[in-house]
Structures are given as structure tokens and as C-alpha cells.
Amino acid sequence: MTSLDDDDDSFHRARRRVLRLALGGSAGAAALAALGPLAGCGGGVGEGGTGYASGPITGFGSVIVNDIVFDDSGASVEDGEGTARARSELRLGMVVEIDSGAIAGGNARASRVRFDSAVLGPVQSVEADGFIVLGQRVAVDATTVYDDALAAGLAALAVGQVVEVYGLFDAGIGRFRATRVERRSSPPLLYRLRGFVADLIGPGTLRIGTAFFSYAAGSAPAGLAAGSFVRLWVSTTPDLLGRWPVQRFGVAERVLPDIDGVSLKGYVTHFASPASFRVDGRQVDASAAVVSGGALALGARVEVGGSLRSGVLVASEVRVRSDQAESEREFDLRGPIERVAADRTSIDVRGVTIGLTRPGLVYIDGTPAQLTVGRSVEVRGVVSVGNGARLDATLVRFR
């Protein structure tokens, strides 16, 4: 009997053969190198029994984060406030934390999935490559996923709309890099922000981005200072001085126990040296790590694999991801076909519409004529140009 792992291996071998034929040479080698999970976090770590990953969701059929496939069939799902949510509420591009068992061979069994946005608030202006919401500059790119209400991307955004942004803070450019943007159809009771304090201005006022926030004496966490990583819930109307009143502070970074296998994707938010830095606020000891892909610096996009000890991520490997490499990232959807368009130019899998007209689309173990509702497939694709709520397939593999 053929196992799922065997199937996955044959799929990736076939995909590599296609890329070798199509690309060849150094371009092919670079593309093939980009396919595999980080050796320190997706291929054999976590043998001690515990695992953890943090990063954007890049696939379903289980939940795929940092190229690790997490079986979420027995996992609890919750939002950033700890409220229980349904598995069906998970979406491509959401930034999540996953607690799991051992990560081995790029697979693990999740026990808990926690999704959390970076900012929820009103759009104040729209820029050529992003927008400003609640005083925070947000950058978007070809990999940003939008919900159906914002399928046209930036063109669909308007001043005053309330949006929820999932993403990671890039300290190098002082902007959030959006991985997913959703429009709120009804205004929330409170706006929300998770970020780094830029300044403390006198008693009771802090600044994050270009926005000022007022807070009551005694309500702030101990040790609040410039550079602190905080989570705020604020009133939806600013005060007479233009400050957003803080209703409460929350936990921006979870306190985690020692964990055998950790995979963390984010940006370097504080940089002391190549051996000591923070990623999305979490301390990393890279003194014994293998570093590849580029130089470490403030704002570098990285994937870190290692173990967590006394709150410090002891890295065994750090991979620097360039903007070019990230722009070529593909999403991965696995499951039965839910809809086939009458003209057979698109299908739906896991609630996502996938276009089938991209040049160079490859089919494995089947043909377009075999696309039928209920047929199990694995689809790889990129965000469609002009429609950020759907993908364009680059590869379809029949199961």
C-alpha cells in the first residue's frame, strides 16, 4: 500500500523533473532549492516530541505553514484573544502560531492553531504600494491575499473602510508587510493593534507608527518603554487631542515553554549582531546556526529553525529570504474539487477559486478532462494578477 508520504515524495520528484526540463542550469538549481522546507525545522527536528511554528498560512489540506504540513484534524482553533473558533475560519495568508507534536519529515500533528491579525482599524489613505490604517503604514505585494470584498486589491480600498490586516512588521522600512487583508462589513466595538512602541510621550501617551495612543495610569504593562512589543485594544473614536484611547493592553508575545522543534518566519525587528537578534520580537541565539541566502540585518526576512530554551530560540539554521524569492512563493491546496466552471477555466478547492489558464500550467497523473467535482487534487498556484481573492494554478496533481 502506498503511503501519503510516498505520494508526496513522488509528487515532488515529478515537480522537480518538470522544473529541470523547463529551467535547467543555475535557474533550475535555484528553483529546486526553494522547494524544500528549512532543514532545521521542516525535515527531522522535533524528535523530542514537541513542535511549534509561526508564520503565514500558505496552504490547506491540513494547514501548511513554513512548508510544514500540520494535521489539524484534532487541533483546537482560537483567535488572538483566546476565543474558540472553527477550523473553517482559517484562511490563506493568516498569520498563525501552531503548537504541535514532533515535526519530522516536514509533517506534524497540530494540537492548537492560533490566528491573529496585526492591525484592525480604518483606512486613512491609499498609497501606490500599500495603505495607512490606524496610523500604520502597510505594504502589499504580489503575494498578498485579499478577501472577496477586496478582490481588486488596492483599487477596492477606500478611506474610511475598516480592514483587518494579517502580516509581519518589517523594521527595515518601518511598515507592516501584509499577507492577508480583509474588509469588515460592520464596525467592531474596538480597534486593535499589535506592534512596537516608537516613543513614550509624557505620562499616559505612546506612539506606534504615526498614531498616538492614550492610556490610564497603572494600566500599562510593567517595563513599558520605547521598543516594547505591545498589543492594544482601542476606542473607535479618538480623543480631542487626536489620540486613540487604550481600553486595555494584551499579550503581544506568548510566553512559551521549552520546545524541541521550532520554525519561525518573520522579520528581524532588533539586531545586535549576526549571532543575536530578534524576529517578530522573539530573541534568537544564532551563534551556532548555519546562515544561508544573504546577510542578516535589521529588517531581513528570515526563516529560523531550532529549539526554544528558556524563552530563547536557539537556531540551528537561518535562511534569509529575498523579496525576489518571496515573490515566487506558491500556495498549496489539497482536497476534493468543490466546483468546476462550465468552461473549465477554474475550479474551487478548500473554498478558494483557482484559475486554470496560466501559461505553463502542468498536470500530473491526470488531464483537464478528469477535473470533476469530488476528485481529489493537489494544486499549487500564485495570487492572480487583478484578483487577489483567487489563485492561478501552476501545477495540478491528481490523487
Question: Mean pLDDT over all residues of the chain?
Answer: 89
Over 90: is that where the pLDDT of 161 sits?
Answer: yes
What is the average pLDDT across 99-128?
Answer: 96
Ranges of each domain in the chain: 36-72+255-325, 119-250, 330-398
CA 299 to chain centre: 16
Cα distance between residue 315 and residue 284, in whole Å: 7
**pLDDT confidence tier of residue 218, bands split at 50, 70 and 90:** confident
Identical topology for domains 36-72+255-325 and 330-398: yes
Cα distance between residue 195 and residue 174, in whole Å: 11
Over 70: is that where the pLDDT of 230 sits?
Answer: yes
Name residues whose C-beta falls within 8 Å of residue 242's C-beta, 6 or more positions apart in sequence: 212
**pLDDT value of residue 251:** 84
What is the average pLDDT across 281-295?
Answer: 97
Of the chain, the percentage scoring pLDDT greater than 70 comes to: 88
Looking at domain 36-72+255-325, which CATH architecture does it have? Answer: Beta Barrel (2.40)
What is the average pLDDT across 74-88?
Answer: 94
**pLDDT value of residue 102:** 95
Tell me the per-residue pLDDT of 164-177, one tens digit each, with 9 for 90 and over. 999 999 999 999 99
**pLDDT value of residue 38:** 54
CA 95 to each of CA 81, 315, 328: distance values in angstroms, whole numbers, following the listed order: 14, 21, 19
83 phi, psi to nearest 5 deg: -80, 135
Pick the CATH number of 330-398 from 2.60.120.1360, 3.90.1720.10, 2.40.50.320, 3.30.300.30: 2.40.50.320
Q: Of the spans 10-24, 30-44, 248-262, which averages the highest pLDDT?
A: 248-262
**pLDDT confidence tier of residue 25, bands split at 50, 70 and 90:** very low
What is the average pLDDT across 316-337?
Answer: 94
